[in-house]
Chain A
């Protein structure tokens, strides 16, 4: 599953270049902490209502906490940084036109606004927003309509699953509401990009989810050593 995802995103080429060895260590450290915590969560990808997972979750859930909320927000911020830069470069590249350009340009604006909103929320809560990583998109990512949109579609579906993977771990109801209000917009993006790329806008009746460690695992191979 992870290896498939690796291939889908940028053909396995690095997208996250860490500015310095110090930054790289601190990124890996937080990813590891995150991975340990998420390991206690009994999530499975797919329809969360099928089977008897409800009771299994109740016993396995990590305890939501204010510190956990800040970690989740910084995780969301990292994904939003990635999306914002990706769309900024993609729209600038000029490979889209007409209705497609009209549909994708607001996505860029949304992701940029999400970066600002999540940053502001972290600051409101007394936390420190993570710095924007240096992203290095592989050559060719923005050279064709097909490549840009296919990558965008993969990102949006991953982003939707990432947000839904945090729903039960968020402690504050306000942050839950804020995160959900962003997640819904990501779902809209995902549906539109599926439509533009001939994919499936409605892949399941209930959004699937992925725990933080699985999403980060998908990003880890792209971190420059």
Chain B
């Protein structure tokens, strides 16, 4: 019955018993592939790239003068959160002896044409970020890093909900994305964000997130 995280990370997926599949949740932990992440540094650098992308996205978007009032306050706070995530993750990678990846070159194309395009793109980023953290969480071995990653994941979910509400989307499916959050594999996340990476190959290495 026991699933040890370390065993799992060694790649012995077949030993995960079906009986613990949490069918009631209809939402098994989507285990990506064991090859997705070889170490906590890999997971953190994957997260760091997404946070770079988000921080730069809000920096540009908030500079474009598309929103005002309470919306502006909220989006300034979101930008500040993403910048804090970048700093936190960089420091953590260094603390555990890794090399933080460099920020990718980005191109947000027409995302800042209007308030709607800004918020709609933000909504996509936030929800993909939620799925990315959830999909990668099971690969994290260090408990303190797991605590921090989970804490960031929750904040991305807050961002996603508020931005969905600013857009006036349907509560279910726009503000909330169901009874449980849905994990995303690294492949799915990369596919979603690749249009915004000027060098589309930047995160494409399957063996590890080398960048």
Q: What's the Cα separation between A59 and B28 when bound, in Å? A: 31
B158 touches A187 (CB 8 A): yes
Which residue of chain A has its CB nearest to the CB of B81? A205
User: Inside 8 A of A130's CB, which chain B residues have their CB?
Assistant: none
Q: Whose C-beta in chain B lies nearest to the C-beta of A102? A: B171
**Cross-chain contact of A187 among B20, B25, B155, B178 (Cβ < 8 A):** B155
| Residues 16-35 (chain B) with a chain A CB within 8 angstroms | 16, 19-25, 27-29
- Contacting residues, chain B, for A113 (C-beta < 8 A): 179
Does B155 contact A174, Cβ atoms closer than 8 Å?
A: no
Partner of B29 from A114, A171, A174, A186 at Cβ < 8 Å: A174
Report A86-136 residues with CB < 8 Å from chain B CB: 102-103, 105-107, 109-110, 113-114, 116-117, 119-121, 124-126
- Cβ of A176 under 8 Å from chain B: yes
Cross-chain contact of A48 among B148, B159, B165, B171 (Cβ < 8 A): B148
Establish whether residues B158 and A49, one from each chain, have CB atoms under 8 Å apart when the complex forms.
Answer: no
Question: What residues of chain A lie closer than 8 Å to B8, measured between beta carbons?
Answer: 173
- Evaluate whether A121 and B144 lie within 8 angstroms (CB atoms) in the complex, with A188-B158, A205-B85 already known: no
| Residue pair A192, B23 in contact (C-beta under 8 Å) | no
Whether A181 and B183, one on each chain, are in contact in the complex, defined by CB atoms closer than 8 angstroms, is: yes
Q: How far is the CB of B12 from chain A (nearest CB, A)?
A: 12
Pick the most buried of B2, B25, B74, B177: most chain A CB atoms within 10 A of its CB. Answer: B25
Asked whether, in the complex, the Cβ of B92 is within 8 Å of the Cβ of A49, the reply is yes
Considering the complex of A and B, which 3 residue pairs feature the smallest CB-CB distances, nearest first?
A: A120-B24, A177-B29, A206-B151
Chain A residues near B145: list those with CB within 8 A.
54
Which of the segments A21-29, A137-145, A160-168, A213-221 contacts the partner chain?
A: A160-168
A20 at the interface (CB under 8 A from B): no
- Given the known interface contacts A180-B181, A202-B77, the answer about A207 and B151 at a Cβ–Cβ threshold of 8 Å is yes
Q: Is A182 on the interface with B (CB-CB < 8 A)?
A: yes
A103 and B29 form a contact (CB under 8 A):
no
B24 in contact with A117 (CB, 8 Å): yes
A sample of 17 inter-chain contacts (CB < 8 A) reads A54-B142, A66-B1, A66-B2, A103-B175, A106-B172, A117-B24, A121-B25, A168-B147, A180-B181, A181-B29, A182-B181, A188-B157, A191-B162, A192-B175, A202-B159, A204-B155, A207-B152
Q: Which B-chain residue is minimally distant from A177 (CB atoms)?
A: B29
Q: What CA separation (Å) do A171 and B148 show in the bound complex?
A: 17
Q: How many residues of B contact A (CB 8 A)?
A: 62
Counting CB contacts under 8 A, is A183 at the interface?
A: yes
Q: B97-105, B113-121, B130-138: which one contacts chain A?
A: B130-138
On B, residues with C-beta under 8 Å from A are: 1-3, 5, 8, 16, 19-25, 27-29, 74, 77-78, 80-81, 84-85, 88, 91-92, 95, 130, 134, 137-138, 142-148, 150-155, 157-162, 165, 171-172, 175-183
* Bound CA–CA A114/B176 (angstroms): 14
Task: Find chain B residues with CB under 8 A from A107 CB.
Answer: 176
Query: Is A184 within 8 A of B153, CB to CB?
Result: yes
- State in angstroms the CA–CA spacing of A184 and B16 once bound together: 24
Say yes or no: is A209 at the interface (Cβ < 8 Å to chain B).
Answer: yes
Is there contact, CB below 8 Å, between B151 and A164?
A: yes
Which of B2, B88, B138, B157 meets A206, CB within 8 Å?
B88
A178 touching B144, Cβ below 8 Å: no
Of A167, A184, A205, which one neighbours B146 at CB under 8 angstroms? A167
- A185/B179 contact (C-beta < 8 A), A57-B143, A178-B29 known: yes
A177 touches B137 (CB 8 A): yes
Residues of A within 8 A of B147 (CB): 48, 57, 164, 167-168, 209
